[in-house]
């Protein structure tokens, strides 16, 4: 009996030891946030050096009550380092859509020359690593983005960063400063991807609760690209007020 009891105790002890070892092996080591951010900043700096002149055909939709009020197709041309122009190619539905898209593109052209003000770097943000999760089949770090100042151009929210390449896959959140009194709530989601070796923003969804008129959603997606020595659509740089298009559309 004593031998049997001793044997069972030994077996139980061995089983507990195996479970403990498995738990230690399965536990994830803490993520070094500083290292992740340093790699992220380095990859972004390198990515800017790979950008060549390109022309993109982009589709915009202004949506109300899950129905597209208008659809706009635009060609956007970029010549490094700071020149971006556009042309509206087609517009259907309400005229409001075309007005909104023009404001969006004018603002985008302006911010191309001020890209450091919106860059996802330690100059503009505080960072913390929240977790790891899969996005589009890639293992990603999910970072909390906390802007260092109130700005219409900085996002308070989350960034998904590829754990292997340290490229930004997605950013989602709200501006740290409301773009307009008209906007009660604004959530922006930006998706990034590869375009012939260049890492670019490929699509956008902006969902806004607008006073008086209710909810509006503006989406954009890139349809096609041409790369090489692109001649910009307009030789003179456009000027615009740094305002959010969905807010401006109701003024």
* Domains of the chain (ranges, CATH numbers): 33-248 (2.50.20)
The whole-number pLDDT of residue 182 equals 79
| 110 phi, psi to nearest 5 deg | -65, -45
The whole-number pLDDT of residue 84 equals 92
The whole-number pLDDT of residue 214 equals 86
Instruction: Answer for the pair 193, 202: CB distance below 8 angstroms, yes or no.
Output: yes
Task: Give the whole-angstrom CA distance, residue 132 versus residue 129.
Answer: 8
Residue with tokens 């069972």: 8
The whole-number pLDDT of residue 96 equals 87
Beta strands in the chain (DSSP E): 54-64, 67-79, 83-93, 125-135, 138-147, 155-162, 168-175, 183-195, 198-210, 214-227
Query: What pTM was computed for the model?
Result: 0.80
Nearest to 112 by CA among 68, 140, 82, 139: 82
| 49 phi, psi to nearest 5 deg | -75, -15
Instruction: Answer for the pair 236, 88: CB distance below 8 angstroms, yes or no.
Output: no
Any residues with CB less than 8 A from the CB of 219 and at least 6 apart, and which? 60, 61, 63, 203, 204, 205, 206
In this prediction, the residues of the chain whose per-residue pLDDT falls under 70 are 1-29, 229-251
Over residues 154-201, the pLDDT tens digits come to: 999 999 999 999 999 999 999 999 888 778 899 999 999 999 999 999
| 195 phi, psi to nearest 5 deg | -130, 95
The two tokens of residue 2 are: 């004593």
Task: Give the whole-angstrom CA distance, residue 133 versus residue 19.
Answer: 25
């Amino acid at each position: 009996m004593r031998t049997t009891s001793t044997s069972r105790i030994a077996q139980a002890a061995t089983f507990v030891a195996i479970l403990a070892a498995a738990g230690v092996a399965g536990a994830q080591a803490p993520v070094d946030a500083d290292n992740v951010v340093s790699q992220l900043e380095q990859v972004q700096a390198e990515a800017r050096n790979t950008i060549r002149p390109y022309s993109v055909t982009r589709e915009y939709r202004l949506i109300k009550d899950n129905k597209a009020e208008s659809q706009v197709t635009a060609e956007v041309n970029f010549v490094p380092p700071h020149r971006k122009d556009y042309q509206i190619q087609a517009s259907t539905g309400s005229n409001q859509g075309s007005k909104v898209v023009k404001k969006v593109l004018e603002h985008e052209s302006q911010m191309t020359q001020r890209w450091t003000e919106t860059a996802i770097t330690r100059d503009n943000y505080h960072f913390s690593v929240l977790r790891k999760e899969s996005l589009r089949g890639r293992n990603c770090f999910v970072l909390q983005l906390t802007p260092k100042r109130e700005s219409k151009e900085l996002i308070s929210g989350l960034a998904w960063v590829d754990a292997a390449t340290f490229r930004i896959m997605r950013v989602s959140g709200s501006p740290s400063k409301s773009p307009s009194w008209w906007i009660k709530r604004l959530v922006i989601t930006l998706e990034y991807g590869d375009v012939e070796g260049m890492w670019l923003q490929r699509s956008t969804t902006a969902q806004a609760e607008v006073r008086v008129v209710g909810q509006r959603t503006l989406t954009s997606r890139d349809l096609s690209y041409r790369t090489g020595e692109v001649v910009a659509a307009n030789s003179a740089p456009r000027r615009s007020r740094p305002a959010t298009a969905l807010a401006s559309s109701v003024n």
